[in-house]
Amino acid sequence: MSEKIQKVLARSGVGSRRKMEELIQAGKVSVDGKIATLGDRAEADQVIRVEGRIIATKAEEDVVCRVLMYHKPEGELCTRFDSDGRATVFDRLPRILGSRWIAVGRLDINTAGLLLFTTDGELANRMMHPSHEIEREYAVRVFGEIEDEMLARLKEGVKLEDGMASFSKIKKSGGEGINEWFNVTLSEGRNREVRRLWESQGMQVSRLIRVRYGQLNLPKSLPKGGWTELPLKEVNALRSSVNLDPETETKVKVDKRPARTQNTRIRRSVKKHQMKQNSERKKARSR
């Protein structure tokens, strides 16, 4: 049966469905040599090219849904490649054959915290789509005098340049004076939305960390730059939350080692990657 081209490409690991729609609109996708337009569909035996490259498409039953939790540090870009050579979130992820990691949403360069990756483009698309109202929770440090009226406005809704926005929950979580921490929750992922909401009240965000995406909390034991893959039970809990059928396969090995041993392994891997990056920077400066 035919399917929309962006869905086929997303499932095959080329990128998110939203990104595929952008490529189609830009005239960079073709089917059997004919430039595709948004809304076109493709059959399983047709040849799809993206920017001239033939894509090895996959049937839905051939995709093994895998999910990573990654602790993004500040200073990393949410892009596969940066022309200026800056670090990206994809640099540290494990390599996989026959598929690729798709980021579930984005965090800007100055934001740290939980970032999810999956091999299943349909799961990524549904988790990002506003209709599923997946909650995102952030710990945010705000610089400025906070008034109760201001917090009320942020919960009721304020008008930003791209429409009305609000926090569904705001909770004070520490700090005093003009540097206070809050935990805030919203259910959409517009660009820099948390920062823009606070800035609409004349406040400055000095730290921003995503601590939860949906039902997944950022593990306290996961160091910055570290990742961990979800077991099948947790993957299927995610799939169920966005009305997808359960996955039956997993690539996660049963690790009987104590949690402390696993955390040590993750930290060593992060340190090894940092040492490699520092070495590459020194070589680049010496040229």
Q: Which of 83, 55, 87, 197 is nearest to 136 (CA)?
A: 197
Residue 70 burial (10 A CB sphere; 0-12, 13-18, 19+):
buried
For 246, phi then psi, to 5°, come to: -65, 150
CA 9 to CA 56: how far, in whole Å? 9
Given the residues 108, 162, 245, 255, the one annotated as active site = 108
Question: How far apart are alpha carbons 210 and 267 in whole angstroms?
Answer: 20
Mapped onto helix, strand or coil, the DSSP state of residue 160 is strand
* 128, 189 contact by CB (below 8 A): yes
Whether residue 148 lies in the annotated active site: no
Do the Cβ atoms of 64 and 230 come closer than 8 Å?
Answer: no
Tokens of 33: 């040599």
Distance CA 177, CA 143 (A): 9
Q: Compute how many other C-beta atoms are within 10 angstroms of the C-beta atom of residue 102.
A: 23
Phi-psi region of 157 (alpha: psi -120 to 50; beta: other; left: phi over 0): left
Active site residues per annotation: 108
